[in-house]
Structure 1
Amino acid sequence: MAMRADDLIDRRRLRRKLTFWRVTAFVILAAALIAFSAWIYGDDFTGQAIDHIAKVKIEGTITEDEELIKRLEKPVVAEVGTLAASAGYMIASAADHIVARKTSIVGSIGVLIQYPDVSGLMDKLGIKLEEVKSSPLKAAPSPFKPTNDDERAMVRKLILDSYDWFVGIVAERRKMTREQAQALADGSIFTGRQALANHLVDAVGGEPEAINWLATKGVDSKLKVVEWKNTEGHGLLFSRSMTKAVANALGLPDAGGDIIHELGADRLFLDGLVSVWHP
């Protein structure tokens, strides 16, 4: 029994030493990578403030980003790639200038709410819904029962008010009369060329045309274009998922990645300002 206890103590000591040397090796490797990257990329990597044209891609699910909004104080040009429709076009219209490719899809100015009605399926499966609520319109419309006239009227009021706001935004930002904006706000989509003819965009082209427009606003067109990335999810070395993977590779527990973040390693790199807005 005494030998077993000694063996356990020795094993624990070895494990602690092994963990220590693994962490030490990781720190040395990280330092080497930082030094090498700084040597290769210079100021672009170390996060020092240098003049450049920043580009941020807006795609997928659009959510509020206060930090990003604060950065959009310089001249901003929106470069439409494949699609800038509905909320995508609303975002693009906030830019000072919009450039779209000839075959880009632009428009779909309008508001839509869709919800399923699975009440028929519930009947077939023998499922019944019971509810107690404070008023008839609470939690309406519901996918679990057919929508009545009062519920549809409520949703329509919501839609029309949001639509009125959307049309006002387009009229204001695109320098149109409300009647002109409303004529385009029937939900139609347009190609980039059609959007140009309808004054929904300012030019046809891509990144070179966007940069050329920035040059008219005092931005040196020879500046390097640097893509902005959120360090929380896309940091080069110390994104949360990357540090967890490294921690696992070093034999550390899953919390090892969070420990690295708590030590501030993920804040070693800073991103530049946003100048090119790409919906």
Structure 2
Amino acid sequence: MLVARGVRSETVELAGQRLHHFTMKGSGKGPPLLLVHGLGGAASGFGRVLLPLAKRFERVFAVDLPGHGFSPEYCLGPVCVRGQYDMLVEYCRQVVGGPAFVVGNSLGGALSAQLAAEHPELVSALGLVSPAGADVGHEPIREVLEAMDVRTAEQSRALTQRLFHRPPWAMLFFANALRGVYSTPAVRALSADALATGEYLKPEQLRRLQMPVLFVWGGSEKLLPQQSLAFFREHLPPHSKVRVVEGFGHIPHVERPGEFVSELLRFADSAGL
């Protein structure tokens, strides 16, 4: 459906690793826009926002991180999170090119924040949507990852309830499919790595962000701990725009794509993008 509407579905090779992505040439004057999904997610999760965003930006990218979506498995070792991040950096350098408005959800938010802190030349503006990466202690993170380790139909339905503000009945009906999504080698390796290393975003990384920053948190966020909201509120730079949106769950681009696009465009207008 996306390809039929003008979206390109391609595979690129970077540092010996193949990555799949969706790209669309836009008709707007905004900078390139890059969308980064979360753990167990995929670029296709942004399928309903690609076309409306392309009306405002010169090009829109949505990448499948290694081992997600249509990208093959990559790292199964103890530095898996770092491997995912390194591939995102290479993707931005070699594929996206110039500085982009980078929008990341969940794990993609944590990777995008690190990208902006370590490589500000690649990020003209930063959007964090229910981002992971907050240093809220080991136990809350362990609980989140355990909730995502779905092995039964009941656990699948419970996770679906946590991902949405109000899950569509069809999502609950097909919730058991999450067992396949969250049991891939990449997801299991990333989860194990996160628990083993305990590496989180550092306050000083966030404080030194100079580009425009949008932080969006769902009023119905049920996956990440509420301490995460407090962490980002405390440590993001004063110029950041923080939005707690009622009716948003953990993945608003899937559940409420129109409102998600509106949030990004209002921010882009205010930031002069």
* TM bracket (short chain): under 0.3
TM-score, scaled to structure 2: 0.28
Which gives a bigger RCO, structure 1 or 2 (Cα 8 Å, sep 6+)?
Answer: 1
| Greater share of strand | 2
> TM-score under structure 1 normalisation?
0.27
